[in-house]
Structure 1
Amino acid sequence: MQVGWQKCKQHKPQYNADRWPSFKSWRPSAIAALTLCAMLTISPAAMAVEIKAKAATLYDFSSQNMVFSKNSRALLAPANLTKLMTAVTVQQAIHAGDITPQTMFEVSEHAWRTGGAPARVTTMFARLGSSISVNDLMYGLIVQSANDAAIILAEGLAGSEENFAREMNKLAKKIGMKNSNFTNPTGFPDENHKTTLEDLTTLAIYVLEHEPELHSVFAMDRFTWNKITQRNKNPLIREIEGLDGFGAGFSEREGFAALGTLDSNGRRYLAAIAASPTAEDRIKDLKTLLLPSFSGLKLEQLYRKGDLVSDAQVYGGRKTTVSLKTSDAVAALINPNEKDKYKLRVVYNGPIPAPVKEGTEVGELQVLSKNDVIYRATLVTGEDVTIGDLQGRAWDALGEFFYQLF
């Protein structure tokens, strides 16, 4: 693919909270948007990925590159996908030596009534007052999506669901999940139980990198315990060939969600979706993201790590601009067979006050189609800019004053 730069007149920087939701926390008067009018010249044209889910991500695990992102930072209820965080938290306790796979935990009345047969939820049918090994509980948790297993593990490890949730949150922050808050190990509805697709992707990447044995359990077809055999409760395993993790979820308010991964021709991909209207839409959305042969999409590299993308205005420096470069390789998931063209847009927090340090994150590169942002990549400063002399800073201040007037 060739990337052609169509020259255009630079527009006056402006800010629109609806068009750039991830920048709502920045000062509106300090936001600058530079429209590059850059088109990805794909013959004959291109358009965005068409999916029904309101939020989605696709991560190329092999190249460690996010290649599609739609509302990935929107808060959502993880529902059943919570159990992946539960499993990782228990696994960490095993690694720390706090418990072993052979440790036995007793089935409390709370676990039995809330997550067992009386509750009519997914369960491993643990008997009240019986003792079950951590190993069996983990298989029940992952393969059978057992809510009683989740509560038994939480109570056995931390004394209560609330205490266990605190451990979940500590681990989430440790591995880089920035916007998550867990209140229980099951994913049962709670207005304070929230995460984002960005964080769920981070969690799944952690499992793929550090917990390969745990990952393998998610692909098991069935698990038998206490003479009861149940097939894997993840319906996507049987719908998408090659899928070997991680789970599906549903909430009344936000619809259908999923976190899936597979190996395609030697490359591993990881997709997450949320708020698909129906279970069928969820399957189609995941196939669209994970299976190029199904969707006809292509992954196209736009920039290598460290490539120059644009310049940003500097206030009070020895230089009036600083280069903006990619912090990682940038690739996008595209459909080369539709009519609408993609656009690239740079949005940065500016003018940037001097001094400026090389490598500072100051903005992002956005890929747009039909005026929708379908992908975001971080941009960093390409060099140091020192503070300018008094006269230069005075002229910059005067220019900023007249800019604010008009």
Structure 2
Amino acid sequence: MATPADPAMVPPEVAAVPVALLVDLGSGQVLYAKEPDRRFVPASITKVMTLYVAFELLSRGQLRPDQVFRMSEGAYRQWHAVGSTMFIDRDHPVTVHDLLMGIANVSANDGCVVLAEGAAGSVPNWLALMNAEARRLGMKDSHFGTPNGWMDEGQTFVSAHDLAVLAQAMITRHPDLYHAYIGHPTMTWNGITQRNHDPILGKLEGADGIKTGFTNQAGYGFLGSAERQSRRLVMVIGGAYTPKDRAGAAEALMNWGFAAFDSRTLFPAGAVVGTAQVQDGEARSLPLVASGAISAASPRGTRAPVQLRIVYDGPLEAPVRKGDIVAQLEITVGGQAPHRVPLAAGADVPRAGLLARLRNGVLGLFT
């Protein structure tokens, strides 16, 4: 069922696709939804989770962009020049940086497998990381049976809602890596230049990614994002019958989202939104900061009232690292259903020593 803010304003191109979702990232508000929880086959959109896992490992220092991997004999036999590819040869050295560029921009099936084997030791180990991240993000209607989205008899599936959650996590947790690797119009490796097939990149103002997908089983899908005047929208198209349907729906839905809604900033990126209590830490509380700009969207020409509530499972357990997503800001705009955006820890809180824990325990008796 479609749930637009104003049905009369929704572009007709959306009717041509079975699944569609448009989310305002700054507020978490759903601007348009058509079958957002319906499970579907993502094809190469699967690679967004492979990229996200790699970004997580890079941020933890468990992976380096200059790290070099080689294609195993087994991976070569199964994946050399199969589908979208970087044409990696056996034992050809390739850096993590180049693998990520190839996966993100030319949908390299072989690159996904080389990365999985090199970073995790095997494809099954990598899949375990993908599914663990999906569970951590709350992607309840998703499962990954392959690192690249190749047909696997339905083991890999997602929902539009879950893909929007994944896109939000990638953009808010790893903005520098997102901009470094996502949305390049071409990619050249080993003397071969290939084009990015993103249907709105370079055609729609502010578009900068994220990933297309296609197999005969899945149809044509797209997880896309665009930013205009510090306002970012994320959009999902699933199961389109033709690439023209996918491109038309994506462009029309994005342009409608920017044109039909006004957005006002509630907190700039990095602003302190509130505090959270911490247990067994050197400090008894920490500031909660906006991972990105937090805003509220209303149909153009209106200014609906906004209610805010901080939500977290607390007290937080030390140690907590600055930048960790530890809470959410629940935003209710007018009579709409509430939506949530992530809040990050604004400071490191190491685990307290014995004396500090005793001090905090005594202080707790009086608060």
The TM-score with structure 1 as length reference comes to: 0.62
Quote how far apart the aligned CAs of 1:49 are: 5.0
Matched AA of 1:128: R
What is the aligned counterpart of 2:331 among 328, 332, 348? 328
Q: In the alignment, which residue of structure 2 is the partner of 1:173?
A: 135
8 Å Cα contact 2:22-2:33 kept in structure 1? yes
What is the aligned counterpart of 2:184 among 217, 220, 229? 220
CA-to-aligned-CA distance 1:43-73 (integer Å, 9 cap, x gap): xx93655311111111112333221111110
Query: Taking CA–CA contacts closer than 8 Å with sequence separation of 6 or more, which of the two structures ends up with the larger relative contact order?
Result: 1
CA-to-aligned-CA distance 1:4-38 (integer Å, 9 cap, x gap): xxxxxxxxxxxxxxx89xxxxxxxxxxxxxxxxxx
Distance, in Å, in 1 between the alignment partners of 2:161 and 2:79 is 28
CA-to-aligned-CA distance 1:245-270 (integer Å, 9 cap, x gap): 10111232342111111113442111
Q: Does 1:137 align with 2:140?
A: no
Matched AA of 1:144: V
Residues 301-316 of structure 1 aligned to structure 2 (within 5 Å) = 304-306=305-307
Matched AA of 2:194: Q
Change (3 A) 1:293 1:180: closer
Residues 146-295 of structure 1 aligned to structure 2 (within 5 Å) = 146-190=108-152, 191-216=154-179, 217-292=181-256
8 Å Cα contact 2:73-2:90 kept in structure 1? yes
8 Å Cα contact 2:199-2:247 kept in structure 1? no
Q: SS of the residue aligned with 1:271?
A: strand
Change (3 A) 1:303 1:124: same
What is the aligned counterpart of 1:59 among 23, 27, 34? 23
Distance, in Å, in 1 between the alignment partners of 2:40 and 2:303 is 30
8 Å Cα contact 1:53-1:276 kept in structure 2? yes
Change (3 A) 1:200 1:302: farther
Q: SS of the residue aligned with 2:208?
A: coil
8 Å Cα contact 1:53-1:275 kept in structure 2? yes
Distance, in Å, in 1 between the alignment partners of 2:201 and 2:85 is 19
The Cα RMSD (Å) is 2.8
Quote how far apart the aligned CAs of 1:136 are: 1.3
Q: SS of the residue aligned with 2:145?
A: coil
Structure with higher Rg: it is: 1
Residues 53-132 of structure 1 aligned to structure 2 (within 5 Å) = 53-117=17-81, 119=82, 121-132=83-94
- After superposing the two structures, state which structure 1 stretch, 224-233 or 138-147, moved more: 224-233
Q: In the alignment, which residue of structure 1 is the partner of 2:271?
A: none
Quote how far apart the aligned CAs of 1:175 are: 2.0
Quote how far apart the aligned CAs of 1:235 are: 3.9
CA-to-aligned-CA distance 1:250-296 (integer Å, 9 cap, x gap): 232342111111113442111111112211111111112111399x7
The TM-score with structure 2 as length reference comes to: 0.68
Unaligned ranges ≥5, structure 1: 1-18, 21-39, 308-326, 332-343, 345-364, 366-376, 380-406
Q: How many residues align?
A: 274
Matched AA of 1:262: A
Change (3 A) 1:306 1:213: closer
Q: SS of the residue aligned with 1:248?
A: strand
8 Å Cα contact 2:31-2:257 kept in structure 1? no
Q: SS of the residue aligned with 1:114?
A: helix
Quote how far apart the aligned CAs of 1:86 are: 0.2
